[in-house]
Amino acid sequence: MGEESEAGERARIFAPFQVNDALMRAAAPEARFMHCLPAHRGLEVTDAVIDAPTSVVFDQAENRLQPQKALLALLMRG
């Protein structure tokens, strides 16, 4: 992210490091997929992995939401 002019080259270099079904099958049965979002679907992670029951990315996002809302409320109070 941020160096969009290098996107094509980076996609080629990092393609072998994509989190996909094969990688998740090689992990322990209790392994969970985590990501801080936003994720580049199809590049860094496949749709099948990020949408799988073993993915906790949306729980992570929800957990971040509450402290962010509290901080905004505190800052807006003045």
Predicted pLDDT at 4: 82
Taking the model in full, what pTM does it have? 0.77
Q: What is the pLDDT of residues 7-60, one digit of tens each?
A: 889 889 999 999 999 999 999 999 999 999 999 999 999 999 999 999 999 999
Q: CA distances (Å), 65 to each of 26, 32, 53, 72, 73, in order?
A: 32, 20, 21, 11, 12
Residue with tokens 């992210």: 1
Better-predicted residue by pLDDT, 62 or 32: 32
Contact residues for 17 (Cβ-Cβ < 8 A; gap 6+): 44
